[in-house]
Structure 1
Amino acid sequence: MISQRAWRNAATRAGAPGGLRFTARQLYYELNRSRQPLYRIGRRPRFTLPPAVSENAFAAALARFGPPPGVVSPAPARSSTAPEPVDLYDYGLPRLLVCQDAEIAAMLRANELHMESACPVYALDDLPLDPRLGTALERGDGTVFVLHDASLAGLAAVAAAREAFPEATPVEPLGLRPAHAAALHLTRRRGEGGIPGAQARLWAPWERDWLARGNTAEVAAVPPARLLRTVHRLVRGFRKVRTVPRLRQLSAVGYLTWPEG
């Protein structure tokens, strides 16, 4: 049973600071954090946590109390009815973000990450994009970033994004990786087990084993403020690695830092 007070408090924390927008899924994970004291310890040792709130209990509370102010729902990144400005694609585009989760894409746009980071935000379901965006990326020597869950489906999302853009356009996974989830003590879920493919070949062995056992961690499990701060830092601070093969390989499998910042 989730009390109305716990519901309101979780919504307040999810929206802090300054009234951030968040998804219902992020609210679910905020409720989990309120019941997981181990979440607050330091980054070492690294571990993920089992759910402290059942999906059924959350669904019942959502039906009873309704979505709190600030909750966003998926919305397309583009409108089929509004005309595009004629010069929208006339400039070089340095970066573009694709999110596996349409709700996370909507949340990032609702908090104006696309404006703050000068980075259009789309969901995987929005692909393929207007070919003119690909031209703008090429003109701007741009990079496509993929924000995905620590899961087999997340790895598949990266592969799908790579197929949706020209081969000459770099596609870089931001994570999550199991290592990020463990450092942040995220709530894990049970998913489909299986052997990770070639994209995970440079991960630590325990990360591949973690996925193979059917563990997953969602981007939505990252606190909203941290998610916004981290994604902004990663897409704005990314530098292409052109000369060192090992660094190129690490970048290609999502060897980017989440816990800092």
Structure 2
Amino acid sequence: MTQNRTAVVTGAARGIGAATARRLSRDGYAVAVVDLDEAASEVVAASIREAGGSAVGVGVDVSDAEQVEAGVARIADELGPPVVLVNNAGIIRDNLIFRMTESDWDSVMNVHLRGAFLMTRACQAHMTAEKFGRIVNLSSSSAQGNRGQANYSAAKAGLQGFTKTLAIELGKFGVTANAVAPGFIQTDMTAATAERMGVSFEDFLAGAAKQTPVGRVGQPEDIAATISFLCSQEAGFVSGQVIYVAGGPLD
């Protein structure tokens, strides 16, 4: 039962995060729409409220421990104890290894890995107290390696190990932890990749679709649907898993 339960989605001002926030609201959760830009978060939260849901936009730099603690405390106060956490916040700083700067590396690690750690540490206290919790970390098919993404690939692979350890540590408290690893999803982030590569987004999408067994690229709602299941009561025996949502088989 999701009534009166609170879900937190990071990086939720756009793309997969926004789609997930809206889906979890339809599933009955009160939703904290968390993003670096609180104004953009509030736009998504307002759309959820207009549709009849309960939501609040919260501006948090997930790599900043003080902001995370303050943000989660505010969420608990305004919406109730957060028992669902979707660690979706992410950035890309793509470059070949010989061109990659320390800043490129550190910024990606700070948002993806440090951010997931800080948000999870703050939210799990509420989950263990409630004896129920769902943690979903966004990995990527790039965790298997991808040219120009040594930082991003390493971070996404790290999230898989983080997920499995959370499942081991928190299972006895009724908390599950799983990772969703999207393939090619049509978002602002993939549009930015196309621009960096100097190709039109339309050609980029067409090329990706040809390489995908189902013959199309993914949409944010495809990922949100899988996250919805993993956050459900019925998914209580699914934990420590990495689910590739990529339109075809990936190891």
Normalized per residue, the structure richer in helix is 2
Normalized per residue, the structure richer in strand is 2
Fold shared, TM-score > 0.5 on shorter chain = no
Where on the TM-score scale, by shorter chain, does this alignment land: which range? 0.3 to 0.5
TM-score, scaled to structure 1: 0.36
TM-score, scaled to structure 2: 0.37
- Looking at CA atoms only, which structure, 1 or 2, has the larger radius of gyration? 1
RCO higher in structure (CA 8 A, sep ≥6): 1
